[in-house]
Structure 1
Amino acid sequence: MRESDLINDLQTRGMRLVDPRVGHESRRGGAGPSDHKAVTIGDTTVMVPVHTAPAFESPYLVDVPDGSGRSRIMRNGTEIAKVSFPSRPRFYDLTTADGIPYNKIAVLHSRDVLATTVLQTCIRYESRKKTCQFCAIGQSLAAGRTIAQKTPEQLAEVAKAAVELDGVKHMVMTTGTPRGADRGAAVLAESARAIKAAVDLPIQAQCEPPEDDIWHQRMKDAGVDALGMHLEAVNPEVRARIMPGKASVPLSKYYSSFEAAVRVFGRGQVSTYILAGLGDTVEDILAMSERLCALGVYPFVVPFVPISGTPLESHPAPAAAFMRAILEPLGTMIVRAGMRSEDIKAGCGRCGACSALSTYEKLKVSA
């Protein structure tokens, strides 16, 4: 099995662990890749579901590490591949000047990506009638694994330590959507400015499209290197059903905001997250991706992962064949558009750990 196909299969089916303690803590709840664990296959580190319903029934079993720190992935008693797990980051053992554990401020994603949710609350999450049905932003806060708002000073302190102690290469800052026309851009700009004053670290900011496009330049001037504005779903009917609050921001606003952002950050430095498996067809996603590539926006398509405790916890994950039908032609599309994940300065597309997309993209580059 090709590495790209194995990663795709693992990310849709998940994996079972003989020893769940292997590697540093898995991600549960929160706003980022949740109910996952980071695993390195060959030279590629990816996030694979371990705490989801599909994962509990996965045909893939990962055994305990051998003397070299590598584990076997087994399927029906046959070894499929060797994997390893990133170790616990050293910065996790520290606390901020005001007594907050660093891993409540920001966490390590993949091998070298620092991630944080600046505001752990969201206007979309306040009402079941408006919430994104897949979102677990409130879970980690309720469980005491994070704090409601990270200050610029805290973020700068933790980012500096993560670079110095663990070799972090770039940072993702997302946020719940606050009330206000900037849709979170203001707090992201404030945070980026403080981080860049403390350490030279490329930053991706993620928010809904601000009402006024001037915020793109303000974020850029504050030190944001790349921007993510996430569609999640692309068909209007699916958007209205799955995320009724966020769908009140029309696709037309996303298109105009994408155009404005690309003028500021450049082609390939603006991206959007698309969750495949929520109801959009292969054709829906590829048609949207073609439009995004024409705009200079990197379409980061990832398999939907049903998270425990959300309204969609029993929704099935997409089949590996469904994902491959999207990712293979999408890899070609992205390369033809002159946008590659490795050229993104910071963020989810550069990291690539939540999707097999970058591995399909590299197949097209080497072909």
Structure 2
Amino acid sequence: MSELAQSDLINELQTHGMRLIDPRAGQESRRGGAGPSDHKAITIGETTVMIPVHTAPSFESPYLVEAPDDTGAARVTRDGEEVAQVRFPTKAKFYALKTADGIPYSQIAALHSRDVLATTVLQTCIRYESRKKTCQFCAIGQSLAAGRTIAHKTPEMLAEVAKAAVELDGVKHMVLTTGTPRGRDRGAQVMVDSALAIKAAVDLPLQGQIEPPEEDIWHQRMFDAGIDTLGMHLEAVTPEVRRRIMPGKATVPVEKYLSSFEAAVKVFGRGQVSTYILAGLGDTREAILSMADTLTAMGVYPFVVPFVPISGTPLESHPSPSSEFMASILRPLGQMIARNGILSKDMKAGCGKCGACSALSTYEKLAPLPQRRIA
């Protein structure tokens, strides 16, 4: 399969989802919670991606995944014709362990993709406390309510699990996200405390994900504590969409994000600061690419992913974007990223480096190699 064909197939699967013939194949999928929920990890060629399997669009998907064989390989078909061979990643070995006080490691952190460890340090959020403020796509409280996680992962817990995940499963980097707590630091202190403990236990690149802190000095404090890359997620790029979809978070204006991005790049470096943009919530292609142009010029990586409706959220019936719409963004965006020399493969840690929730990194590979920047 050519790189272009693989990019387009991943884009198709992520917008349509896929149907599993064997329900047991979905046992290691993620339901509810923060991050790529209602998804299943599969590997196509050498690329591991997250594909929706428990969403309304996926139940109607034209893509069917047959039961995997003894090696974990399976055929993906459309209209009875094979379109790809995929592999299902094996269950993480560290999931079998518990802390001394009996908390399963799987409730503290999860294996995303093949070699990425991720956790939501605080499984509560000031934006989630009121229906008038909550992000309409967010399911941060679902996994907590279902008993699949705990409300607060202490630094000591995170260090213990991170060390085990590196030693048992070969984890290469870790994502630390959090619900937004009260306070002007917006979660930066949580990142500092967590990073200090993890880095004392194991040499593992870390990404911290928070809202922009009120004071820019927090960027340096997080970096000094061991956070290698920083994510501050816009989700939507135009003020009207932000107010409609995430009324609480929209009180932090785009202008604040841009100023915080600029300050963060000075600390973490070009290509080591990123943002998450959910395409399909109402922003036009032109608006997303215009914002991406601004961000990439600043040295901020715009990780654009297709919106996936999560069951139990206000947007559970909202349609996913079409594969054509996503391709019209990701193809030129891949060129834009390459042109500015901030490729995902050069990121030290985080969602952009993992790339499993979008076909973006595969479109980057189709772009000409960037010229070396002259200082």
How far apart are residue 228 of structure 1 and its match? 0.0
Pick aligned residue for 2:138 from 135, 139, 145: 135
Aligned to 2:78: 75
Aligned to 2:373: none
Pick aligned residue for 1:96 from 79, 99, 105: 99
Partners in 1 of 2:180 and 2:70 — Cα distance?
Answer: 46
Pick aligned residue for 1:174 from 167, 172, 177: 177
Alignment TM-score, normalising by the size of structure 2:
0.97
- Read off the aligned partner of 2:274 and give its amino acid letter: S
- Read off the aligned partner of 2:280 and give its amino acid letter: G
Cα contact 1:335–1:364 (8 A) shared by 2: yes
How far apart are residue 23 of structure 1 and its match? 6.6
Partners in 2 of 1:344 and 1:66 — Cα distance?
Answer: 35
Partners in 1 of 2:182 and 2:72 — Cα distance?
Answer: 47
Cα contact 2:192–2:225 (8 A) shared by 1: yes
Q: Does 1:206 align with 2:209?
A: yes
Aligned to 1:358: 361
Aligned to 1:336: 339
Aligned to 2:306: 303
Structure 1 stretches lacking a partner, 5+ long:
none
- Read off the aligned partner of 2:36 and give its amino acid letter: P
- Read off the aligned partner of 1:17 and give its amino acid letter: L
How far apart are residue 97 of structure 1 and its match? 1.9
How far apart are residue 291 of structure 1 and its match? 0.3
- Read off the aligned partner of 1:110 and give its amino acid letter: S
| Paired residue secondary structure (1:83) | strand
Pick aligned residue for 2:322 from 295, 319, 322: 319
Pick aligned residue for 2:108 from 105, 109, 131: 105
Partners in 1 of 2:368 and 2:46 — Cα distance?
Answer: 17
Cα contact 1:24–1:86 (8 A) shared by 2: no
Aligned to 1:2: 5
Alignment of 1:185-200 (within 5 A): 185-200=188-203
Partners in 2 of 1:273 and 1:23 — Cα distance?
Answer: 26
How far apart are residue 366 of structure 1 and its match? 6.6
| Paired residue secondary structure (1:123) | coil
Aligned to 2:284: 281
Aligned to 1:56: 59
Partners in 1 of 2:79 and 2:317 — Cα distance?
Answer: 25
- Read off the aligned partner of 1:100 and give its amino acid letter: I
How far apart are residue 363 of structure 1 and its match? 1.1
Pick aligned residue for 2:348 from 336, 341, 345: 345
Alignment of 1:216-227 (within 5 A): 216-227=219-230
How far apart are residue 20 of structure 1 and its match? 2.5
- Read off the aligned partner of 2:266 and give its amino acid letter: R
Cα contact 1:227–1:270 (8 A) shared by 2: yes
Partners in 1 of 2:19 and 2:299 — Cα distance?
Answer: 38
Cα contact 1:24–1:87 (8 A) shared by 2: no
Structure 2 stretches lacking a partner, 5+ long:
371-375
Aligned to 2:264: 261
Cα contact 2:72–2:89 (8 A) shared by 1: no
Aligned to 2:118: 115
Partners in 2 of 1:189 and 1:279 — Cα distance?
Answer: 35
Cα contact 2:289–2:333 (8 A) shared by 1: yes
Partners in 2 of 1:65 and 1:18 — Cα distance?
Answer: 10
What is the CA deviation profile of residues 187-210 of structure 1, one whole-angstrom value per residue up to 9, with x for unaligned ones?
Answer: 111001000000000000000000
Q: Report percent identity of matched pairs.
A: 77
How far apart are residue 29 of structure 1 and its match? 0.7
Cα contact 1:24–1:88 (8 A) shared by 2: no
Cα contact 2:20–2:26 (8 A) shared by 1: no
Cα contact 1:202–1:345 (8 A) shared by 2: yes
Alignment TM-score, normalising by the size of structure 1:
0.99
What is the CA deviation profile of residues 116-163 of structure 1, one whole-angstrom value per residue up to 9, with x for unaligned ones?
Answer: 000000000000000000000000000000000000000000000000
| Paired residue secondary structure (1:221) | helix
Partners in 1 of 2:33 and 2:298 — Cα distance?
Answer: 31
Partners in 2 of 1:71 and 1:293 — Cα distance?
Answer: 37
How far apart are residue 22 of structure 1 and its match? 2.2
| Paired residue secondary structure (1:125) | coil
- Read off the aligned partner of 1:44 and give its amino acid letter: T
Partners in 2 of 1:228 and 1:366 — Cα distance?
Answer: 25
How far apart are residue 19 of structure 1 and its match? 1.2
What is the CA deviation profile of residues 14-56 of structure 1, one whole-angstrom value per residue up to 9, with x for unaligned ones?
Answer: 0000112227611111111100000000000000000000000
